[in-house]
Structure 1
Amino acid sequence: MGAAEWMQARSPEQSLTARIVRWYSFLSATLVGG
């Protein structure tokens, strides 16, 4: 899947920062939620 590309397509202005925050939150929720 092209999650990175999808993120860039959604928020090209906040590419790097947005992706880091989104992925960190996603990973955290996944690890905690199990």
Structure 2
Amino acid sequence: SGQQTSILGIGFGAYVDAFTVMTELIAIHHIKV
């Protein structure tokens, strides 16, 4: 979150945040079956 300095440049932090949120939503969905 907020990491705009990386190998891939700006937007990498946003990508990681989106991936993390999606993973958490999937995990919650599978846990609360």
Under a length normalisation based on structure 2, what TM-score does the superposition of the two structures give? 0.59
Q: How many correspondences in the alignment?
A: 25
Largest Rg, 1 or 2: 2
- The gaps in structure 2 that reach 5 residues or longer are 5-11
- Deviation above 3 Å: which 4+ runs of structure 1? none
More helix, by proportion: 1
Cα RMSD for the two superposed structures: 1.1
Percent sequence identity over aligned pairs: 8
